[in-house]
Chain A
Amino acid sequence: MSIPILSLVAFLPLAGAALLLFLPRENKVLLYGIALAFTIAVFLFSLPLHFAFDGGTADPQFVERANWLGLGIEYHVGVDGISLYLVLMTTFLMPLALLASWSHIRDRIKEYLFFMLLLETGMIGVFIALNLFLFYVFWEAALIPMVFLIGMWGGRRRVYASTKFVLFTMAGSLLMLVAMFVLYAAFFKETGTHSFALADLLNLSLAPKLQTWLFLAFGLAFAVKVPMFPFHTWLPDAHVEAPTAGSVILAAVLLKMGAYGFLRFAFPLFPEAAAKFLPVLAVLAVIGIIYGGFMALVQKDVKSLVAYSSVSHMGLIMLALFAGNTAGVQGAVIHMVNHGLSTGMLFLCVGILYERAHTRLIKDFGGVSGRMPVFAAFFLVAVLSSLGLPGLNGFVGEILCLYGAFAADKLWAVLAVTTVILAAAYLLGMFRRVMHGPIANDHIRAFRDLNGREIALLVPIVVLMFWIGLHPSTFLRKMDASVAQYVSRIKGRERVFVVKPLAAPVAVEAGRATE
């Protein structure tokens, strides 16, 4: 490739942010226009990644590699089938998130857009970095803007929420940094050369005890980010306090950074240790699924309901990852994208409601669909996508995840299926109480339906939802080779957790057949 397309995608938002600094702060239209133009340009530039991507090979593509600081610290980026759609989801959602902010971010717009663009660079960087040092830099770079977004434009307890968010995340990531040093030192001891390149470090064979510690350090950083039970407590706070666009990005992209970290780093680098901890992790994932679901059932606030549903969904994604078979991993990756779309859209819908009602308590609503029929349709699609209705994207991801989990261990899969039941219960229950029934109060009578901007930002998501739901192979075939390589790498070294010999082959066959 002659055009450094990944660098362009990653750093164009940064350029936009720098440009914003020098624009007058009073001109709202200009500021939003520039920011939107940059994010849309980034999305357009990222489209060739999909079309030119060769699904037949597992190697990273669009690779750029240059020396940066020496001693193994390189600028080394690339995408494979696993990261490709996470990058695309990020670039796809950013313009929509900005568009959604138009009406409810009124003060300090310049700073707001600056941090949003900074955040985009950080997030894309996390997904494309192939050098551990670079990964860490982007990982941290994505943290700070989010802290500001929550802390400056958040709700009443925004300072608490943003501080909690940063401390939880930093506790994990600083330990990960130490683990990176240990890896780096171990590589130096073994080979006599310095390297932070993921490809080099993958060849390292580490003593089991060392692996255990390193896996725990990496695992903690990622588990906090996912978040896995019991490290999830920052998430509801952050989500409830964050502005709408912040919630969308947090749920859709930032949480995926954790799952992606397991997939890209923690498991491949420390397979033996990972295998040892898999039973524990699987239990935590199942607890997350069930606990998140039950918590969502009892929430009074729509936004924290969606936040807990995230905990539940991420639990399923993690369980599928831990299954470590083709169906599971593929399901996990596609479900990450699905969850990004459906939960992102749910947050957008909640934001739209909040802008009209200035409340998010379920009891303050009722009969909204009578006043906002168009909105009701969109909201219903988001709800159905999130609970996994066949024909929509959520179903594809869920079914693959559950197949994968089933193939690995029937008991976990059976427990995980509760996610479907619980999701139906809390989401439909919420939808019924908010949208149906008699109109609850006079405020609702005054609601106006969606305007053009709001429809424009929801339609692309719905289109993509149906696309993935009806024709998932557009996306799945691009990731086949990468997932297969990942699975063989994990399997090659150690068996995945309690594989029960009878059920496994059948379920995997079934999983393949539906694709």
Chain B
Amino acid sequence: MSVFPALGPLLAIAAGALAVILAEAFFKRENKDHLAFLSLAVLLVSGWLAVRLWGRNAEAFGGTLRFDDAAVFLTLLLLAGTAFVVLMGMRHIVRQRMNDGEFYGLLLLAAAGLVIMVSSGNFVAVFLGLEVLSVSSYALAGLKRGDERSTEAAAKYFLIGSFAAAFIVFGLALLFGGSGTLELTEIAAAGTIPLLALAGLALVLGGFAFKLALVPFHMWQPDVYEGAPTPVTAFFAFGPKAAGFLVLLRLLLPYWQSGFKKEAVFSVLWAVAAATMLVSSLAALRQRNVKRMLAYSSIAHAGYLLIAVLSKDASGLLFYLANYLFLSMGAFGVLAALGRDGVERTNLEDFAGLGARFPWMGGLFAVFVFGLAGFPPTGGFLAKFYVFSAAVREGHTALVLIAVLSSLISVYYYLRVVVFMYMRRSEGEEAAVDFENPPLLLVLFLCLYGVLQLGIFPSYILTFVRRAAESLF
């Protein structure tokens, strides 16, 4: 069997990324929409190639890249997310005066990194993907060059990111020395020098905790999320987390069966999950900036995802990610619609009276926010439902109680935005909403559809999720 099918989605997207960058260099045009359309086409082709891999378990390079069903499923989610970000950005980058074609090229490169991460069976390939992703992400965060916050975000992201990468590389070296393998699924079984391998594993997990912004390694995230241009933030909130959690799941699923010192590793991650949920929720309470609040909320969601990893709930994790795609893209999408030329308006006060002035936009944001808080009938409820119920079945009731407490706190801060939108009148200059932005409105509509479809009639998606989850065991 040739390697081409398994490489298809990756090749398409990497070639597309380069093509977009070249097109930007050679066809200097004021209007960059052609780059957006080219990117969308590339994502579509890549997605189509990925769909064709469903159920085939295609491999390349001796299993270094392996598209099992879970990888295909997540690749599709990631490509969809990237497409949403492209659409969200089309008008946004013009209005925010950062109209550079690099936006699309970097985004596609980052997406290529994500696809490598989700489809790799080997830690070296994971690291490769992670770096492709990270380097493009640093540049994306600083895309708004004239803006201090954006620059600061890029610098911070770069420093912390490279620091974490160093941890991971060093950990991999120790892991390889200790266990003799870097295959994700074999690390658990091997163990010639267990202690060395354990130290390596600890470093690798620490590095991932940095990248996924799990408490206590989360400090950078609110700054980066707040400083980065909003569509980019939307990308950060979904892409890296989704890919990172699938890698964690691939690593830890076999590990929970037969890993060395698995109880110790489990209790550390248990504590990390608990701290992640509580600290982020409490910190979110204090935020006056909605973008920053959503950054903390995305940390909290990482905590819930970690519960799924701890309770071996692959289908719960995948379903949660599918929901989180629509919820986070939707919420950040509304944020992207606010503001005036060159200025983003994301303070709580900017939301005052939004529900009355722009009923549809306010209503959409309310739906996304209630979805993030986990209210039925949105998919957010069902996602939490599956993850929590699996955790209880595995006997992690205490962790679920902490998660529930965190959800309760989160209800308060999500509700506060709604209170501002519907129950306060605006004072001072009112934030404008960008309605002449069909691509963004399309994204919001698709997200609304996704949130409700997954919340009310998810059976069809669930069959795919369950098949994808089976491929992990």
Contact = CB atoms under 8 A, between A and B. Distances in A.
Contacts of B359: 25, 110-111
Contacts of A182: 392, 397
Contacts of B356: 108
A108 B400 CA distance: 39
Contacts of A152: 422-423
A304 B376 CA distance: 32
B180 interface: no
Given A69-B462, A151-B422, A158-B423, A167 B411 contact: yes
B419 A163 contact: yes
B412 A163 contact: yes
B377 interface: yes
Nearest to B395: A185
A137 B377 CA distance: 7
A144 B363 CA distance: 13
Interface in A168-182: 170-171, 174-175, 177-178, 181-182
Contact of B408 (A170, A181, A188): A170
A185 B423 contact: no
Given A69-B458, A188-B393, A137 B376 contact: yes
B407 A174 contact: yes
A171 B412 CA distance: 11
B459 A70 contact: yes
B376 A136 contact: yes
A185 B311 CA distance: 14
Nearest to B411: A170
A181 B400 contact: yes
B389 interface: yes
Contact of B389 (A108, A148, A184): A184
A151 B424 CA distance: 10
Contacts of A166: 411, 415
A178 B397 contact: yes
Interface in A126-151: 133, 136-137, 140-141, 143-144, 147-148, 151
A176 B117 CA distance: 38
Contacts of A148: 422
A69 B423 CA distance: 36
B388 A177 contact: yes
B425 to A, nearest CB: 11
B411 A181 contact: no
Contacts of A137: 376-377, 381
Given A69-B458, A163-B412, A167-B411, A174 B404 contact: yes
Given A141-B376, A167-B408, A178 B388 contact: yes
Interface string A45-69: 0000000000000000000000011
Contacts of A171: 408
Given A174-B407, A178-B397, A184-B389, A144 B412 contact: no
A136 B376 CA distance: 9
B127 interface: no
B462 A147 contact: no
Nearest to A147: B415
Nearest to B382: A69
A152 B419 CA distance: 9
A96 B392 CA distance: 44
A178 B407 contact: no
A185 B386 CA distance: 12
Contacts of A163: 412, 415, 419
A178 B401 contact: yes
A184 B377 CA distance: 20
Nearest to B391: A181
A178 to B, nearest CB: 6
Interface residues of A, number: 35
Nearest to B405: A174
A175 B381 CA distance: 15
A285 to B, nearest CB: 26
Interface string B428-468: 00000000000000000000000000000011001000000
A295 interface: no
Interface in B362-419: 370, 375-377, 381-382, 385, 388-389, 391-393, 397, 400-401, 404, 407-408, 411-412, 415, 419
Interface string A95-115: 000000000000010110000
A140 B408 contact: no
A70 B376 CA distance: 17
A321 B462 CA distance: 41
B210 to A, nearest CB: 31
A159 interface: yes
Interface string B66-101: 000000000000000000000000000000000000
A162 B397 CA distance: 30
Nearest to B359: A111
A500 B376 CA distance: 46
Contacts of A174: 404, 407-408
Nearest to B407: A174
Interface string B25-43: 0000000000000000000
Interface string B341-368: 0000000000000011001000000000
A178 B307 CA distance: 14
B389 A181 contact: yes
Contacts of A188: 393
A140 B382 CA distance: 13
Contact of B423 (A70, A144, A159): A159
A184 B390 CA distance: 10
Given A136-B376, A141-B376, A185 B408 contact: no
Ranked 10 nearest A-B pairs via Cβ:
A181-B392, A137-B376, A185-B393, A181-B389, A174-B404, A151-B423, A140-B376, A170-B411, A159-B423, A185-B392
27 contacts: A68-B459, A70-B459, A70-B462, A111-B355, A137-B377, A137-B381, A140-B375, A140-B381, A141-B377, A143-B375, A147-B415, A152-B422, A166-B415, A171-B408, A174-B407, A175-B401, A177-B388, A178-B388, A178-B392, A178-B400, A178-B401, A181-B388, A181-B393, A181-B400, A184-B392, A185-B393, A188-B393
Given A170-B408, A177-B388, 19 more contacts: A108-B356, A111-B359, A137-B381, A140-B376, A141-B375, A143-B375, A147-B415, A159-B423, A159-B424, A166-B415, A167-B408, A174-B404, A174-B408, A177-B385, A177-B404, A181-B391, A181-B400, A184-B392, A185-B392
Interface of B: 355-356, 359, 370, 375-377, 381-382, 385, 388-389, 391-393, 397, 400-401, 404, 407-408, 411-412, 415, 419, 422-424, 458-459, 462
